[in-house]
Structure 1
Amino acid sequence: MEFGVIGLGRMGRIVVDRCLDAGHDVVAFDIDEDAVADAADAGAAPADSIPDVADQLGEAKRIWLMVPAGDPVDAALDELEGLVDEDDVVVDGGNSNFRDSMRRAESTDVAYLDCGTSGGPAGAELGFSLMVGGPEWAYEAMTPVFDAVATGPDGHDRMGPAGSGHYVKMVHNGVEYALMQTYGEGFELLANGRFDLDLESVARTWNNGAVIRSWLLELCEEAFAEEGSDLGTVADRVEGGSTGTWTVQEALEQEVPVPLIYQALAERFSSRSTDGDDPGRFSRRLANRLRYGFGRHEVPRRDD
């Protein structure tokens, strides 16, 4: 299958590589010429602009956007206007607000799929989890690509109409915040409790058969192995928060109580008001390091 990828950052490049490995033909574009050249070296057909991507594709154009949420998505759609029609498909694989996705689906002629994407850079090897919203025919048309990008056929599904994919991903991220906070609080108690514990050993033991085993717990083990049980210089500062904020806002509108997600979000905001050299809360320091584990986000550190 031939399709285009616009945006060759970490996640976009994974989409390209996994699809090339699966035998698909990929036309690749990014504003970074070096990123385009690297993708071409891997086997993609290079494009020098968004219109060039559309020009290189056949009559049934299939395009995956992996650009930052917000204005860059609208800018890409504006450039595609007049080059795609109702028989073509555009996938938005970023963390767009579901309301923006609903608006875009209404305002563009193209079949628009909002695709919540989870898995981080680890998806290069394992594949992503894909939560897709939009027309069923468009989802089915993109299924060969979704099979390649996801962990396999079980790693993706159509959630419902336009907006539902990013809606499910939004709530996913809220749950993620709460899970990170819960692990952080548990390990904070262990770190400051009555025994001198090897937290890497605790995490490894829990992750082998315990009820609370998970990938996040594997990343806790990784963090303690690389930073030590005291987490070294990892700072009490947790970045991010947009999707968690959207989750809490939606919960308020729907009158659904989400106290754990709300508190986890509040902890993130509170972490940004602390002195960067203050050791601070262990739970937030672990959440900081976990963000590196699954997303390779920069780890804020304190000066010793």
Structure 2
Amino acid sequence: MELGLVGLGKMGGNMRQRIRNAGHTVIGFDHNPDISDAKDLADLVGKLTAPGQPKVVWVMVPVQAIDAVINELAELLSPGDIVIDGGNSRWTDDTRRAAQLAEKQIRFVDCGVSGGVWGLENGYALMCGGDAETVKTVMPIFEALKPEGEFGFVHAGKVGAGHFTKMVHNGIEYAMMQAYAEGFELLEASEIVENVPEAFASWREGTVIRSWLLDLMVNALEDDNHLEKLRGYADDSGEGRWTVEAAIDLAVPVPAIAASLFARFSSRQEDSPAMKAIAAMRNQFGGHAVKGAEDPSYATPPIKH
């Protein structure tokens, strides 16, 4: 097949190479001219010339830029052509974008992509949404990107289903990472465990908690046994928030995922206001010492009732 790929960053650049390795033609566009195959979107669309094929353009850009790219593609593509949104879009936006493109008879597929920088070698897990005929048309590209073997791809349902599935995947990822992180901190705090990196490494075989995330954690500990080179700050891409919001809308309890999201918020506070309030209340009911209180009277015992 022939494919246009918009966005050649950490994910997109490797995806281009993996698709090419499978024998397909990829015309990539990026604002960095050193890695781009086209000077702009119009040039990219113009270079898609395979006879008898619809033009297929895969959009792999940050969520803030997706609407602008799709708006421009809507004016450049023709009836029957296909746009695939492989970014981390919110699933509720997919229906709107599909309807916008449908006005010009352009087809739309949403596709959640997982695999990170390791995808070039290992393949990418793909979760797509759209009508069956359109998905069938672009299956050669999906087959090129997915891992070898039976698994790694799902046509999850109608438009929006792919990004919804990827959103839930990322919510689960948040919770798994948080569990490993809490286990690490607990082992580090123990006086009897003398080799935390080897403890994590021992879990990689024969245990029920082995996973690729565990493998990555072991890699990190091999480089920095106590993670002293890192700042304890973790951002969130938005999908953890969307997972919790969807759970609220659907009345589905997701306490582990919700807690892992809030833990990331805590990581951004050098001096947590909430923990200050807890310290103040402990002082008031129990006379506990408050570290950093400038006023000595602040630590006075509470009034007896």
User: Taking structure 2 as the reference length, what is the TM-score of the superposition?
Assistant: 0.84
Percent same amino acid among aligned pairs? 41
- Stretches of structure 1 lacking an aligned partner (at least 5 in a row): 37-45, 277-304
Aligned match of 1:92: 85
Higher mean Cα deviation, 195-204 or 15-24? 195-204
Aligned match of 2:14: 14
Q: CA RMSD in A?
A: 1.5
Structure 1 residue 160, shift from structure 2 partner: 0.4
Aligned match for 1:68, one of 46, 62, 65: 62
Are residue 160 (structure 1) and residue 177 (structure 2) matched?
no
Q: Distance in 2 between matches of 1:54 and 1:236?
A: 44
Q: Higher relative CO (CA 8 A, sep ≥ 6), structure 1 or 2? A: 1
Q: Distance in 1 between matches of 2:189 and 2:79?
A: 59
Task: Report how many aligned residue pairs link the two structures.
Answer: 265
Q: Distance in 2 between matches of 1:55 and 1:149?
A: 24
Taking the TM superposition and a 5 Å limit, the aligned residue runs for 1:137-286 are 137-152=133-148, 154-228=151-225, 230-274=226-270
Structure 1 residue 275, shift from structure 2 partner: 5.3
Structure 1 residue 86, shift from structure 2 partner: 3.9
SS in 2 for 1:235: coil
Aligned match for 2:74, one of 81, 94, 107: 81
Structure 1 residue 234, shift from structure 2 partner: 1.5
The residue type paired with residue 180 of structure 1 is M
Cα distance per residue 1:233-265 (max 9 Å; x no partner): 322211124110011111111111111111100
Aligned match of 1:288: none
Q: Distance in 2 between matches of 1:210 and 1:197?
A: 21
Aligned match of 2:299: none
Larger radius of gyration between Structure 1 and Structure 2? 2
Structure 1 residue 83, shift from structure 2 partner: 2.5
- Stretches of structure 2 lacking an aligned partner (at least 5 in a row): 273-305
Taking the TM superposition and a 5 Å limit, the aligned residue runs for 1:122-141 are 122-141=118-137
Structure 1 residue 57, shift from structure 2 partner: 1.1
